[in-house]
Structure 1
Amino acid sequence: MPILSFRAVALRAGIYVLILAGLMQIVMTVDARHAGAPDFSETSLTELTQAALLLLCTILMLVIRQRYRVLRSVSLLMAAFFAISFVRENDQWLDAYAFDGAWECLVVLLALPALALVIRARRDFLEEFSLIANSLGFGLFAGGFLTTYVFSRLYGRSELWQALMGEHYLRIVKDAAEEITELAGYSLLLFASLELLLLARRLRDNRRSPPA
């Protein structure tokens, strides 16, 4: 496993902090201060950014698989996961402009072939997983997954916010808290994808290097 230097980790951490700060500034400027009232609906910049991050994660996984040609099973499974999440994030648009239940059909079409290929190459998948299990990229992925798909769902429950605000309960506050938490989680998933891309490049370069 290629070892990262402290300088490299610190540099990338600084870049990720700047990206997060930029995203939060955009949320505050555009959605929180939306004309008339805060807007965290399906057409808000927060929601559109979430979809864009998922699309970018999907593309990065496909680059790992097709260009670097390492971690092929892992990257395929993760690409399918990100693509399914992208479809789910846009379910309202698909139901409105395609047909009701369109997103469910797309999820099945994405999930079944990917799972079949990974199961077929399960030995390769397990070997590849051992390469990334202790990596920074997988740690960020685990954090992003838990933040987006577990914590944000629990944090965004109406019962919690009704208990916190009582008779002053405002749905927009709950929506903002949930969507911003999801945005943070998707950002971690993007950082994870970038780290895995860099890891894939190092693995490819190591394979090309002649033995000492």
Structure 2
Amino acid sequence: MKEQDPNIIKQESKDIIIDNLKYLGVVVTIFLVVNLALRLDVNYLVTYTSERSFTEGFQLAFIVFTIFTFARTLPKRKDVKHALTLIIGFFIVILIRELDSLFDMVYHGFWKVPAGIVTLSAIFYAFRNLAVGVNELAVVLKVRAMKMMICSVMLLFVYSRLFGMKVFWKDVLHESYIYQIKVIAEEGTELLAYGLIAYAAYLICKNLKKNVID
């Protein structure tokens, strides 16, 4: 067997470097989108509210993209349809929570009703056969990009909440405390998380489609 010339760049090496450069490019783009949204809010909104802002708009766009990406994969990977349905349900609940001001037009806190229905329906469908649901979920969790998804979800639910605590910002700003500063910081962190979640969803579904089981 002929040995590879060490002075020649292997195609595999080129592919790995290009793949990582693409990854870097997308992540940097997400960072720029977050920065752009915050700057638009600060420069063009007279009164900043998290419900009506460029940041909120981008958040909703990323969530819808995530749901759409998993939904498109569902027909092509029916062998993990229960796990994908559970994931889709999870992000639909997040979308409903982000649209709480819209549901509040019915009555305050009404978003919990559709969110509860979606949650129970998704869990029942995914685990009505416990073994099937758990095994399918394990297949999806095995995808490498799921690590990125999990970290991004933790950034959304853990770090952004701790970072956006009113007590923390009052300790930082003291008598200069302004509510809008705290909200912008928290919403910006959430937007970053949503952007990374959307990219992770794309990578996960790309992998699942590439390894289709007939």
Q: After the TM superposition, list the runs of 4 or more consecutive aligned residues in structure 1 that deviate by more than 4 angstroms.
A: none
Q: Which residue pairs with 1:20 in the alignment? A: 30
| Structure 1 residue 164: Cα displacement | 0.8
CA separation of 1:70 and 1:40: change in aligned 2, threshold 3 A: farther
User: For the residues of structure 2 that align with 1:64 and 1:34, how far apart are their CA atoms?
Assistant: 38
| Structure 1 residue 148: Cα displacement | 0.4
Q: Which residue pairs with 1:91 in the alignment? A: 100
Bigger Rg, which one: 2
Q: Which residue pairs with 2:132 in the alignment? A: 124
CA separation of 1:36 and 1:113: change in aligned 2, threshold 3 A: closer
The reply on whether 1:60 has 2:69 as its aligned counterpart is yes
Q: TM (normalized to structure 2)?
A: 0.84
- 5+ unaligned residues in a row in structure 1: which ranges? none
**Cα RMSD, aligned residues only:** 2.0
CA separation of 1:101 and 1:174: change in aligned 2, threshold 3 A: closer
| Structure 1 residue 33: Cα displacement | 1.3
State how 1:105-184 maps to structure 2 within 5 Å: 105-184=113-192
**Secondary structure in 1 matching 2:50:** coil
| Structure 1 residue 15: Cα displacement | 3.6
CA separation of 1:35 and 1:88: change in aligned 2, threshold 3 A: closer
| Structure 1 residue 43: Cα displacement | 0.5
Per-residue CA deviations over 1:15-66 (Å, capped at 9, x if unaligned) read 42243134124214411212546x2421101012112211221121211212
**Secondary structure in 2 matching 1:136:** coil
Q: TM (normalized to structure 1)?
A: 0.85
Aligned residue pairs total 200
